[in-house]
């Protein structure tokens, strides 16, 4: 059984499936298996990055799936040390993926200590013009980083991929995105797998029972109703199906408010200023 997935319109006239699959920590062989299973479950949107070292496995799954290229939405990302040579980096990613273009190419971290992300954005503009990527965007950018690229470029990132989940809701940044016409993508939508969801947010147990859904589905549906693009990672076949079955129920306003109330400003991953690895 497959499930219908909403799409979100982006500021360059394209659109993106609101739910996809995250692939962080899935190495090539696992990525091949999980992405193949995900395609069978109905996923068409896959999020990867050069640094995840799984683009080749994902490429194999894409080729063997037989799914028409136009039906897929593939995102990959420019790693920090590659910022000065974005064309080489995307060419290598495309070789590994076995694709002629990706749908979305993101600057993975601003890594402002390097002083290269603004120039990297200018390079991404050219890669887009040359058709190597359909859309361009950013990840882990704060408003000051968005300002810095706006100062040199008329092209607004289609989206910003940031840590976002019930314990860290990024309300100010989301409002900033809305003002600038930038869509919000959540990484770590299920709290990055690093907390016990029921223990941290006990009332989710009752909510899940009331909707006859899992706690994960209630959280993912909360993201959907906020208009956020999500790509939870799982290596389990059952959870792949669970995490995309989100469009046959709706949280009422009171229950949305209950989850909004869990915001603790609690980052579980790396802060933008610290994401400066080579």
Active site residues: 52
Asked if 161 interacts with ligand NAP (CB under 6 A), we say yes
* HEC profile of the chain: CCCCCCEEECCCCCEEECECEECCCCCHHHHHHHHHHHHHHCCCEEECCHHHCCHHHHHHHHHHHCCCHHHCEEEEEECHHHHHHHHHHHHHHHHHHCCCCEEEEEECCCCHHHCCHHHHHHHHHHHHHCCCEEEEEEECCCHHHHHHHHCCCCCCCCEEEEECECCECCHHHHHHHHHHCCEEEEECCCHHHCCCHHHHCCHHHHHHHHHCCCHHHHHHHHHHHCCCEECCCCCCHHHHHHHHCCCCCCCCHHHHHHHHCCCCCCCCCCCHHHCCCC
How many residues bind to ligand NAP according to rule CB under 6 A? 27
Site string for ligand NAP, 29-48 (x = CB under 6 A): ------------------x-
Contact range with ligand NAP by CB under 6 A, out of 63-71, 94-102, 227-235, 250-258: 227-235
Position 24 contacts ligand NAP (CB under 6 A): yes
Q: Which residue lies nearer to ligand NAP by CB, 3 or 131?
A: 3
Q: Site map for ligand NAP, 234-263, x if CB under 6 A? A: xxx--x--xx--------------------
**Nearer Cβ to ligand NAP (30/119):** 30
Closest separation in Å from C-beta 12 to ligand NAP: 20
Q: Provide the minimum distance between the beta carbon of 252 and ligand NAP in the complex, in angstroms, as a whole number.
A: 22
Q: Which is nearer to ligand NAP, 154 or 278 (CB)?
A: 278
Contact between 82 and 40 (Cβ < 8 Å)? no
Question: Interacting stretch for ligand NAP, rule CB under 6 A, among 16-24, 55-63, 199-207, 254-262?
Answer: 16-24
Per rule CB under 6 A, is residue 82 in the interface with ligand NAP? no
The distance of closest approach from Cβ of residue 244 to ligand NAP in the complex, given in angstroms and rounded to an integer, is 10
> Interface residues for ligand NAP in 177-216 (CB under 6 A)?
187-193, 214, 216
> Where do contacts with ligand NAP occur on this chain (CB under 6 A)?
22-24, 47, 108, 139-140, 161, 187-193, 214, 216, 231-236, 239, 242-243, 269
């Amino acid at each position: 059984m497959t499930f219908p997935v909403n799409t979100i319109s982006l500021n360059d006239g394209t659109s993106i499936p609101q739910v996809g699959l995250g692939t962080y920590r899935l190495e090539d062989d696992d990525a091949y298996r999980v992405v193949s299973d995900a395609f069978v479950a109905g996923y068409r949107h896959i999020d990867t990055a050069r640094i995840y070292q799984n683009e080749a496995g994902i490429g194999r799954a894409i080729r063997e799936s037989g799914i028409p290229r136009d039906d897929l939405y593939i995102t990959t990302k420019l790693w920090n040390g590659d910022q000065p040579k974005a064309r080489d980096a995307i060419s290598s990613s495309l070789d590994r993926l076995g694709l002629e273009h990706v749908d979305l190419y993101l600057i993975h971290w601003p890594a402002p200590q390097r002083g290269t992300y603004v120039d990297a954005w200018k390079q991404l503009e050219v890669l887009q013009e040359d058709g190597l990527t359909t859309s361009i965007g950013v990840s882990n950018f704060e408003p000051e980083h968005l300002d810095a690229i706006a100062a040199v470029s008329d092209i607004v990132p289609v989206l910003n991929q940031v840590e976002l989940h019930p314990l860290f809701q990024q309300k100010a940044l989301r409002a900033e995105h809305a003002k600038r016409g930038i869509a919000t993508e959540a990484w770590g939508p299920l709290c990055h797998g690093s907390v016990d969801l029921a223990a941290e947010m006990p009332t989710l147990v009752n909510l899940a029972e009331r909707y006859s859904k899992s706690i994960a589905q209630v959280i993912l549906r909360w993201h959907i109703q906020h208009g956020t693009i999500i790509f939870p990672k799982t290596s389990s076949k059952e959870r792949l199906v669970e995490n995309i079955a989100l469009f046959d129920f709706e949280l009422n306003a009171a229950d949305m408010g209950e989850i909004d109330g869990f915001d603790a400003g609690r980052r579980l991953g790396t802060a933008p200023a610290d994401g400066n690895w080579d």
